[in-house]
Chains A and B, each alone.
Chain A
Amino acid sequence: MCGIVGLFLKDKSLEPKLGDMLTDMLITMTDRGPDSAGIAIYGSEADGRTKLTVQSDAPEDAFDGLDGALAEALSTDVSIRVIDTHAVLDVPAGKAEEARSALAELRPGLRVMSAGDTIEIYKEVGLPEKVAERFDVRGMGGSHGIGHTRMATESAVTTEGAHPFSTGSDQCLVHNGSLSNHNSLRRKLRRDGVRIESQNDTEVGAAYLTWKMQNGATLGEALEGTLEDLDGFFNFVVGTKDGFGVVRDPIACKPAVMAETDQYVAFGSEYRALVNLPGIEDARVWEPEPATVYFWNH
């Protein structure tokens, strides 16, 4: 099954409450996906800095002294914020790729969850409520965020297989469904130099969007492309630095409901996920059409 939630805020006064609202939405979707949970949250931006969210199964060893070691390797200043199994490294803009290479040398077991100006990704196996608690998602603010509860159908129940997937700067994707041509597409994308780390079908979807955009497509065009090039069932919800998009496959058998008010745009696999949002009684609520791209920008 899997559950997807997403919230794109138009009203800045709600920004401090983003994590709180997303957590409630995520927990409501537990019975669609109790295997693992994750969120991508678009928070504050520091001028000239890039954030790398990294994860380790042995965080004490992996994160101890990591800021110093990375600062030395990059010959620049680096700061670290550790949250449970994840840490957010803050490096100068333009140093992200170099930092990735250095991290692979310094801490080979470390996984890079996301990189970008504002995005942070937190994901782990376990019940959504526990995952949200571990990272104190309730305490997080931001302009928009996307969450996922996973019932695994493609690839193992591991942190690596949890959503969201990020394959480009400030991009992320969550998915409900299953792709049937992900193996062939993964091979093709890898041949074209796209980094894909897991056996998960969704990561291929994320990488496909990144690849399209690297080749000049807008996000809208890349999302249109999924309808031609991806085979299978999908509800995709994507985040970019300042945007929030949705697309469903032409068969559209996976559930989706959206709500829009003057304050926000919200997505849920079920209406239940949206019932506690402010003003939902008067929101425009609708089911997104199959093979139709929806997108909002700040």
Chain B
Amino acid sequence: MQTYDLEANGLRGLNSTLQEQNGGTNKTAWEIVNAKGSHAIAVGLNSPIEVTVKGSTGYYCAGMNQQATVKVEGSVGPGVAENMMSGTVIVEGDASQYAGATGHGGLLVIKGNASSRCGISMKGIDIVVHGNIGHMCAFMAQAGNLVVLGDAGDALGDSCYEARFFVRGSVKSLGADCIEKEMRPEHIAILKDLLARAGADAKPEEFKRYGSARQLYNFDVDNAQAY
């Protein structure tokens, strides 16, 4: 285990050190101490290393992640795992706005609650939130899965495309063109796998599925009020 003191050695040093660990490094486990809400911790990683952040982080933690597993033992600020391509990001606490925004792949697990705009414009990422999510989550979501064990806020899935949303609790309101959909066996299978990978103690049958009604894919003046 390599330990990096962020306060003593700085952010640029941290990210360049972690980004250098590609191709056969034997320094595969890292621990970052004194995070103190700093921004852009462990961004742009592209190797299968394991990074543990002790404490809470600020903006954009683990952004643009590929391959790495980043675990935050605290809460995260806005934009955690933004534009993630692959790998895993686990947040023990809560997440602020736009967690996992524009993510193309990988798995983002939030053990606490996520606030507004979680999974906004998601493009293939899988997000599992153990608690609740706020308003405007998965706005314009295009692909991937958003799983919520708690409740969802206003306007879930507004103007979404092919992404799937599974919510166990209540949904305050659905966004434009987002509807409840039938839970078929293939969806149960997807959800079962995601819940297992996220360490979530919940049964797939307890969830409802939501997704696009596909009415807004092409502009139609009759739908003008819905845009």
Contact = CB atoms under 8 A, between A and B. Distances in A.
Interface stretch (A45-53, A151-159, A195-203, A251-259): A251-259
B75 interface: yes
Contact of A270 (B58, B94, B115, B116): B58
Interface in A254-274: 255, 257, 270-274
Given A252-B116, A290-B116, A271 B94 contact: no
B97 A275 contact: no
B115 A287 contact: yes
A255 B78 CA distance: 8
B159 interface: no
A252 B75 CA distance: 19
Interface of B is mostly: loop
B56 interface: yes
Contact of B36 (A253, A257, A275, A287): A275
Interface in B41-63: 56, 58-59
B77 A286 contact: no
A255 B77 contact: yes
A213 interface: no
A290 B39 CA distance: 23
B150 interface: no
A252 B37 CA distance: 20
A286 B94 CA distance: 8
A137 to B, nearest CB: 22
A272 B96 contact: no
A285 B37 contact: no
Given A271-B56, A272-B36, A287 B96 contact: yes
Contacts of B96: 255, 257, 287
Interface string B91-103: 0001011000000
A253 B97 CA distance: 8
B104 interface: no
A261 B42 CA distance: 30
B176 to A, nearest CB: 16
B116 A285 contact: no
Contacts of A286: 94
Q: Which among B38, B96, B115 has the greatest number of chain A C-beta atoms within 10 A?
A: B115
B168 interface: no
Contacts of B135: 252, 290
A286 B38 CA distance: 17
Contacts of A289: 134
Contacts of A275: 36-37, 56
A290 B136 CA distance: 12
A147 to B, nearest CB: 17
A275 B58 CA distance: 11
Contacts of A285: 56, 75, 94
A186 B52 CA distance: 51
Given A255-B97, A257-B96, A287-B96, A271 B116 contact: no
26 contacts: A252-B134, A252-B135, A255-B77, A255-B78, A255-B96, A255-B97, A257-B77, A257-B96, A270-B37, A270-B58, A270-B77, A271-B37, A271-B56, A271-B58, A272-B36, A272-B37, A273-B37, A275-B37, A275-B56, A285-B56, A285-B75, A286-B94, A287-B96, A287-B115, A289-B134, A290-B116
Interface of A: 252-253, 255, 257, 270-275, 285-287, 289-290
Give the 8 A-B residue pairs with the shortest CB-CB distance, closest first: A272-B37, A271-B37, A275-B36, A287-B115, A275-B37, A271-B56, A272-B58, A270-B58
